[in-house]
Structure 1
Amino acid sequence: MFPLQVDLVGGGPVALVVAFLVSTLFSAVTMHLAALWVLGDEPHQNAVKVAPVPVVVAMLFSQYNGLLMAVLAFAAAFVAIRYVYELTLQGTALVSLFYFAISAVFAFAFGNIFLS
């Protein structure tokens, strides 16, 4: 059966769900910032629609090569951004690049704060 509690260093379904929710929240915030900077005033609901897509791809391919995971997550985010925001290819590329740049900067900063 599934354990009802997860150890601090353990895994399990609860740990996966929490990791997914925290990562999706982080992704939604960075996506909204990228959309604000590139497109101007955009509703935050669009960022919430895009956010789970790269997170799911990253979680599914995290056991493989990190570069492969990043490329697939970027491609998935690109498609989701194009579909949700209804942009041209150039606009989608610009928003996607800002999204991943902001995500990388915040991840590096938070990693240095919390993992030091």
Structure 2
Amino acid sequence: MLPLQVDLVGGGPVALVVTFLVATLFSAVTLHLAALWILGDEPHQRAVKAAPVPVVIAMLFSRYNGFIVLALSFAGAFLAVRYVYELTTYGAALVSVFYYVISVIFAFAFGNIFLT
């Protein structure tokens, strides 16, 4: 007898890929907003190039303490922003801080909308 429903929740490679894609999309949008705010008119392709770095780091180190994940993903975002946007250390730090602030604000907002 065949089951009438298939349970797609439960991990595996499909869940990891979808999580990576959704988190990278969220990261690219917030990084682009931060770059627009700090640097002015910037092409969105740069945000798409830099966005996967903190997502991969966060996914790889997610089993560790949250502060460790935050520090490592911030360092990865800082390096990716500095390389992709070709900024100075101060400029990359400023864009990275704004990127994380916007990400936290959006995460709380979406969490209150969808998880309540």
Structure 2-normalised TM-score? 0.93
Q: Deviations over 1:4-47 (max 9, x none)?
A: xx735411110000000000000000000000000000000000
Q: Distance in 1 between matches of 2:8 and 2:31?
A: 30
Please report the RMSD computed on the Cα atoms of aligned residues, expressed in angstroms: 1.0
Secondary structure, aligned partner of 1:82? helix
How many residues align? The count is 111
SS of 1:46's equivalent in the other structure is helix
**Which residue number corresponds to residue 82 of structure 2?**
82
Aligned position for 1:21: 21
SS at match of 1:31: helix
Aligned to 1:100: 100
- Distance in 1 (CA, whole Å) between partners of 2:90 and 2:97 is 11
Aligned to 2:30: 30
Once residues 16 and 48 of structure 1 are traced to their aligned partners in structure 2, the CA distance between those partners, rounded to angstroms, is 19
Offset from partner CA, 1:45-103 (integer Å, 9 cap, x none): 00000000000000000011111001000000000000000101110110000000000
Name structure 1 gaps, 5 residues minimum. 1-5
2:71 aligns to what?
71
Between the aligned residues of both structures, percent identity stands at 77
2:72 partner SS:
helix
Could you list the runs of 5+ residues in structure 2 that have no partner in the other structure? 1-5
List aligned pairs for 1:29-48, cutoff 5 A: 29-48=29-48
